[in-house]
Structure 1
Amino acid sequence: MEYISEQLLAFELHPTLVKYLSPLIMILFIAIICIVANFITKKIVIRIITHIVKNSKFHWDDMLLERKVFHKLSHIVPAIIIYNFSATFTANQQLIEKGANTYIIIVGLMIINSLLNALVDIYQTYEISKTRPIKGVVQVVKIIVITLGMILVIANLIGESPLILLSGIGALSAVFMLVFKDSLLGLVAGIQLSSNDMVRVGDWIQMPKYGADGDVIDISLNTVQVQNWDKTITMIPSYALISDSFINWRGMQASGGRRMKRSIYIDTNSIAFCTEEMVRKFKQIDYLTDYLVNREQEIADYNTKNEINRSNPVNGRALTNIGVFREYVSQYLQRHAGINQEMTLMVRQLAPTEHGLPLEIYAFSNDIRWAVYESVQADIFDHLFAVAPAFGLRLFQNPSGNDLRTVMEEPRTEMERGH
């Protein structure tokens, strides 16, 4: 500053003019230095770093580049230059130093935030991130760092030691507990979810209370994001997964099979003993030939051994159309390409209801994809609905308007025939 003033006075300028003009020239000089330094940093240094990062064999440095860690570092350079020139402005030196320090602290917080985001990105490239997510922990670290940064900013502006402000935090702990209640609950919940491996990114969970039914796409400090099957997003508080119950379908996905549990209802009035004609017809069905031969021999041996009079079909043992149909369904499922034969497979009767006799299919598809599972299930029941009449069985359904119309038209048709 003195050198600039001397040079201006050498041009025989008025001292008052020199007094105001020299600081302006100094400010302009510092601004030019900052612009040049910023240009060199961003246009040369950052480009060199970018070139090195893109040509390296490591992937973690790419995350640092994507999060603009190096770009944000370049913002510190002008602040350092201004801080070093603050002594030039004696009257305002303290104010300039405080402003530069505040700017450096804020930029430092931005750099730490980007570093932590890059850390999460790097961690998510490993398989362990699906079972042990750290996003919630990183968010807690961010809160702590930002809190400490704000304390440093305030301490710098008021010119006091940060320890004095830190000593007063104890008195504000109750306020912090109230303000950060959800964050603290989320932190504890996140630790429990992670340590107990209750939920992972990619899991299909179901939580009717919150209207969630879909895949977990993100686990953060306060919320777990679930993308429902209709592509909507449901936000569930992290601690709700600890305090409330939910269904995690991970076990089904890992098993390689998706359960099929559905019934067809048989009209009990259509259930009857098999006649010889029916047995001959059933033997022509490939799935039942061996079964019927063996079953007939077994029944005949039993009736002969126990001297049962078969003149009445009620006596002894006999084949029924529902029993043969149940065996047919079992054999059909055992040969179906979409059924997992390594998992539970059975065809069972449930307790009769007012809708008839439920014949339940309990099996697992060998593909857990929803569309494939539904296709396999529909294919099976399409076939069963079509073949049931071949066994003399009627499937139950509540009377429709067409059924009632048919019933009402029958007497009228008979009357017309009588005339």
Structure 2
Amino acid sequence: MAWWHSSSQSINLEWVEHIAVLLAMAAFAWLVWHVVFGRLVAISQKTKTEWDTILLQTVSTPISVLIWLWPSSYVLDSLLAATAKVSESWLVVSRRVLVFAVILWILLRLVNRIEAYLMKSDTRDQTTVSAMGHILRLLLAVVGVLTALQAFGISLTGLLTFGGVGGLIVGLAAKDLLSNFFGGLMIYFDRPFSVGDWISSPDRNIEGTVERIGMRMTMIRSFESRPLYVPNSVFSSIVVLNPSRMQHRRINETIGLRYKDADKMAAIVTDVKAMLETHPDIEQRSTLMVNFDAFAGSSLNFFIYAFTKTINWSRYHEVKQDVMLKIVDIVHAHGADFAFPSRTISFDKDEMTEAAIPVPEAIQAASNKH
């Protein structure tokens, strides 16, 4: 209380008027900005592009905060000068940091809004967009921290020297975290898969749809609708299959005819191949084969080898079903039929005669039973 009474004696009406003028100017500037911003938003809504709207939404809040904080810093400066008699140098530095912080805030908001806008488009790779967003935010954060430290007079040379030694220690202690981080960067730049892709790994029990690629781990939704969280470093040491990027789906089936239809095999194979060559859902630029293949134990086998135009799993099975039904019609049209596992037993004439003569012991045993 004694300090306040001694300090408040230097607070006069002129100081109060100075504070009031600064706050009034801040309120007037904020009101003008509010009106101008409203007009600019109305104009941007009439344009065909969304970039002007994104820019206005980015700068609206930071500029409003700057309008109030900048005069407030001078108010605080005057108050401290009148009461505490402290140096103004740190307030000058704080104002510089304030301006740079607002600029950094605007840039971060701009990166976030551009990323959200690009992620809504189906024509852009969401994995690349997300990766660039993470990298830009990290870069802006590092630049912001280093600039703030330099503004307050902290030597960056010593800090970087200490950071080199400290970084080595931290790197050894958190090698798994760093390996996951660089594994995420590898996924972003190599792009073996993207968000929405169906992937699987023959090396690990991993299969499902990629929902999110983070800087440390990737979330995959399995076909049982269970989330699977895989560290990014795992993908640098396993084989990843990406069926979502296949160009076609393959039909590879073996069909068996009866041995008694051997004379009809050539005509059936020719008609089946002609059917596949004219089928609207079979890719004609890929390999297409229909050939008599093997003499099996109970059938004569021929195979079909073709690719569908669609890669959709459900549509693929519809096309395959249509092809198989057409093959059934072709086989039946030639008076042939499909084979099933069977076995034919034959006896020589002498063996049949011997088997038909009753054995005396067998006759005696049968009479004893009766």
Establish whether TM, by shorter chain, passes 0.5.
yes
Corresponding letter in the other structure for 1:115: L
- Are the equivalent residues in 2 in contact too, given 1:213–1:229 (CA < 8 A)? yes
Q: How does 1:5-24 map to 2 (within 5 A)?
A: none
- Are the equivalent residues in 2 in contact too, given 1:330–1:347 (CA < 8 A)? yes
The residue number in structure 1 matching 2:339 is 394
What is the distance in 1 between the residues matched to 2:297 and 2:72? 88
Q: How does 1:9-408 map to 2 (within 5 A)?
A: 34=26, 37-41=29-33, 43-65=34-56, 68-88=58-78, 89-90=80-81, 91=84, 106-120=101-115, 129-130=124-125, 133=128, 135-153=130-148, 160-175=154-169, 177=171, 178=174, 180-191=178-189, 193=190, 198-199=192-193, 205-207=199-201, 209=204, 211-214=206-209, 221-222=215-216, 237-238=231-232, 240-249=234-243, 252-253=246-247, 257-264=248-255, 266=256, 270-272=258-260, 274=261, 319-349=262-292, 359-384=302-327, 390-395=335-340
- What percent identity do the matched residue pairs reach? 19
Tell me by how many angstroms 1:375 deviates: 0.9
- Are the equivalent residues in 1 in contact too, given 2:127–2:213 (CA < 8 A)? no
- Are the equivalent residues in 2 in contact too, given 1:205–1:247 (CA < 8 A)? yes
1:15–1:236 CA distance, 2 compared to 1 (3 A): closer
Tell me by how many angstroms 1:377 deviates: 0.9
- Are the equivalent residues in 2 in contact too, given 1:63–1:121 (CA < 8 A)? no
1:38–1:183 CA distance, 2 compared to 1 (3 A): farther
- Are the equivalent residues in 2 in contact too, given 1:210–1:236 (CA < 8 A)? no
1:167–1:250 CA distance, 2 compared to 1 (3 A): same
What is the distance in 2 between the residues matched to 1:163 and 1:83? 30
What is the distance in 2 between the residues matched to 1:85 and 1:114? 29
Q: Which runs of 5+ in 1 are unaligned?
A: 1-13, 275-318, 398-419
What does the per-residue CA deviation read over 1:239-294, in whole Å, with 9 as the maximum and x for residues that have no partner?
A: 544432222346633xxx43222334x37xx322x5xxxxxxxxxxxxxxxxxxxx
Q: Classify the secondary structure of the residue corresponding to 1:75.
A: helix
Tell me by how many angstroms 1:86 deviates: 3.4
- Are the equivalent residues in 1 in contact too, given 2:119–2:126 (CA < 8 A)? no
- Are the equivalent residues in 2 in contact too, given 1:219–1:225 (CA < 8 A)? yes
Q: Which runs of 5+ in 2 are unaligned?
A: 343-370
- Are the equivalent residues in 2 in contact too, given 1:210–1:234 (CA < 8 A)? no
Corresponding letter in the other structure for 1:133: T
- TM-score for the superposition, normalised by structure 2: 0.65
- Are the equivalent residues in 1 in contact too, given 2:294–2:302 (CA < 8 A)? no
Tell me by how many angstroms 1:322 deviates: 4.3
- TM-score for the superposition, normalised by structure 1: 0.59
What is the distance in 1 between the residues matched to 2:296 and 2:65? 77
CA RMSD of aligned residues (A): 4.5
- Are the equivalent residues in 2 in contact too, given 1:321–1:393 (CA < 8 A)? no
What is the distance in 2 between the residues matched to 1:105 and 1:176? 30
1:206–1:163 CA distance, 2 compared to 1 (3 A): same
Corresponding letter in the other structure for 1:111: I
